[in-house]
Amino acid sequence: MAQQRRVVVTGLGVVSPIGNDVDTFWRRLIAGESGVGPITRFDTTDYKVRIAAEVQGFQAEDFIDKRKARRLDLFSRYAVAAAIMANDDAQFTPSLEAERVGAVMASGVGGLQTLHVETDKLLHQGPDRTNPLLVPMMIPNMGAAHVSLQLGTKGPLSTTCTACAAASDAIGYAARLIRDGAADVMFAGGSEAPISPVGVSGFAAARALSTCNDDPTGASKPFDARRDGFVIGEGAGVLVLEELEHALARGVRIYVELAGAGMSSDAFHMTLPDETGESQGRAMLMALREAGLDPSAVDYVNAHGTSTGPGDVAETRAIKYALGDHAYEVAVSSNKSMIGHCLGAAGAIEAVATVLTIVNSYIPPTINLTEPDPECDLDYVPLEARFGRVDVAASNSFGFGGHNVALVFSRYDG
């Protein structure tokens, strides 16, 4: 029987509320700096929620021709920028072997910015003023499409749209394409730009968002007894996944190995998670099984950790379900305490953080955790980052509708 093809990570790219490059993102993440602040994109006077984790200082023209950039919704601009950064980091030239290189990108809501602008135009100026590029700017697959167009990939090209699990879903799917021999290199991740009137008002109406408008940096507080909802965020994350022998032949730096991915469904509720945590825990166990690792091997869990009441309790139970008593010995933290919830991009940005946690042996904190919820009784690395060797890390992503994905990364020592 042929040996299974192994998948490693050779490039990282990120656009986030705390930095538009990997070094800045990691430095501020470890420092426990929040990217949450008042919304600046539109007038929030009449809104119940007036805070978000916005990307600051991003210039699409640094990555894309200015004329082309105008034809892309913001979520696609983020996707292309993160992919170019990841490609440069991997020191790769996709066009040299284009048919063996692909892309799987995620987005939960697609081009909301374009949808809002064009709907407003339709209502106030009439149908004849609709932008002819409305549809190709709005549809969620265009993040992946523009990554492929920009980099010249001609292998597998796909988009996952599984809500807040979408980016982790994309990464797991891309890894399987490499393992199955359909590609040697895949760009995988997700992008999102939901901070618009319709995005904010929609999640606020569902009572999913924090209303701590007077304390933006303290609003996202996963696993804390005072949590009152998530903070909406935006950005993109991209990983270059590569077949191990292909990476070794190039002599490129290998960050970590993507050892396993697991998926499950709650079949429970349209928005609420399976309160027992069993469905989410099964995704973690499936990822560990694919990795060939015992639950006791896990050193760190990058939690989904949204700062919602039922979500954080369910995830705590899921970690216990998957890891048993070992759950109490594992460090757990939520990046969303600093970057908010980036929806379809969350899993990719958090995967970048998980990779860097293993590489640097430094665990990001869960900030704002000062009053622990008694039902959330694990080690959530409160307030300050922590040194500690991490050989195996899981990254969890759970989405509306019961979509659960867990990724397992492991240290690569050659």
| Residues designated as active site | 164, 304, 341
DSSP string for 211-226? --TT-GGGS--TTBTT
Alpha-carbon distance of 146 to 128, in angstroms, equals: 27
Residue with tokens 């007038």: 43
Alpha-carbon distance of 300 to 145, in angstroms, equals: 34
What the block records as the tokens of 60 is 């699409």
Alpha-carbon distance of 118 to 196, in angstroms, equals: 13
Chain centroid to CA 305: 12
Chain centroid to CA 298: 20
Close Cβ partners of 195 (under 8 Å, ≥ 6 residues apart): 39, 41, 52, 54, 232, 233, 234
Q: Contact 340/231 with Cβ under 8 angstroms?
A: yes
Query: How many CB atoms within 10 Å of residue 359?
Result: 18
Residue with tokens 């980036």: 342
CA-closest candidate to residue 7, choices 311, 194, 243, 339: 243
Strands 185-192, 101-106: pairing is parallel
* 3-class SS of residue 121: helix
CA-closest candidate to residue 305, choices 381, 249, 204, 240: 381
Q: Contact 12/365 with Cβ under 8 angstroms?
A: no
Query: How many CB atoms within 10 Å of residue 358?
Result: 24
| C-alpha atoms less than 13 angstroms from C-alpha of 351 in its C-beta half-sphere | 41
Alpha-carbon distance of 316 to 29, in angstroms, equals: 22
